[in-house]
Amino acid sequence: MIQLLVISDTHDSIQAVNKLSMYQDFNRADMLIHLGDIISPFTLRALLKTGKKLVGVFGNNDGDKVMLKEICPSLKDQPHSLKIEGVNFILLHGFGSPEVTENIVDAILSQAPRGSVILYGHTHMYSVKMREGKAAVNPGALSGYLSGLRSYAVLTLSTNSVQIEIKDLDSRRIIKQHTLKI
């Protein structure tokens, strides 16, 4: 089993990053995926000092992308695809308004092969969409900006499934839970 911790829209909230890094979800994670809007190098350094492998994409508000890339070469422009334990992932931040982002995600989801997981951010609202053996997951904003809810996602990959949990950073409770059979 592989556990992925998925975050987005940290917007320089070191307090949220530090809080998350103290949780078992963080400690158990094999990999950290960031879906953009880290913002500045000091936030990225705070994430990396934990020793977790980090992959991700840039968001529309990320400042010095050259410096961010120097600090963490595994940050990519969106969209970025990768395969983890046989599961196809498409990582993106988002584009334009929340509605435009949701429309783009829906289009990608409709064309993606069975067993794919689209991970996205930008809207600051958590979401899990399941469709025909594939999923689109937005962990919401770790910063809590705009929505007032600080949230993240935990994905557990096993041989035949991806367990998806969206969690509230402050209460640690599961807000939403789904299983994708692959």
pLDDT, residue 159, reads 87
pLDDT, residue 182, reads 84
* Residue of 131, 144, 135, 141 lying closest to 164 (CA atoms): 135
Q: What's the sign of the alpha-carbon dihedral 64, 66, 70, 75?
A: positive
- C-alpha 51/C-alpha 136 separation (Å) is 27
Task: Kindly report the backbone phi and psi dihedral angles of residue 29, in degrees, each rounded to the nearest multiple of 5, phi listed first.
Answer: -65, 135
- C-alpha 131/C-alpha 128 separation (Å) is 10
Burial class of residue 95 (count of CB atoms within 10 Å of its CB; 0-12, 13-18, 19+): middle
Per-residue pLDDT of the chain (182 residues; tens, 9 = 90+): 999 999 999 999 999 999 999 888 988 999 999 999 999 899 999 999 888 899 999 999 998 899 999 999 999 999 999 999 989 999 999 999 999 999 999 999 999 999 999 999 999 999 999 999 999 999 999 999 998 899 999 999 998 999 999 999 999 999 999 999 98
Task: Kindly report the backbone phi and psi dihedral angles of residue 132, in degrees, each rounded to the nearest multiple of 5, phi listed first.
Answer: 50, 50
Q: CATH for 2-181, among 3.60.21.10, 3.40.367.20, 3.40.50.1970, 3.30.70.270? A: 3.60.21.10
pLDDT, residue 63, reads 82
Amino acid symbol at 103: N
Task: Kindly report the backbone phi and psi dihedral angles of residue 153, in degrees, each rounded to the nearest multiple of 5, phi listed first.
Answer: -125, 145
Taking the mean position of all CA atoms in its chain, how far away is CA 49? 19
Task: Kindly report the backbone phi and psi dihedral angles of residue 81, in degrees, each rounded to the nearest multiple of 5, phi listed first.
Answer: -115, 145
- C-alpha 174/C-alpha 176 separation (Å) is 6
- Confirm if 5 and 167 have CB atoms less than 8 A apart: no
The structural domains of the chain, with segments of one domain joined by +, span 2-181
Q: Is the pTM of this model over 0.85?
A: yes
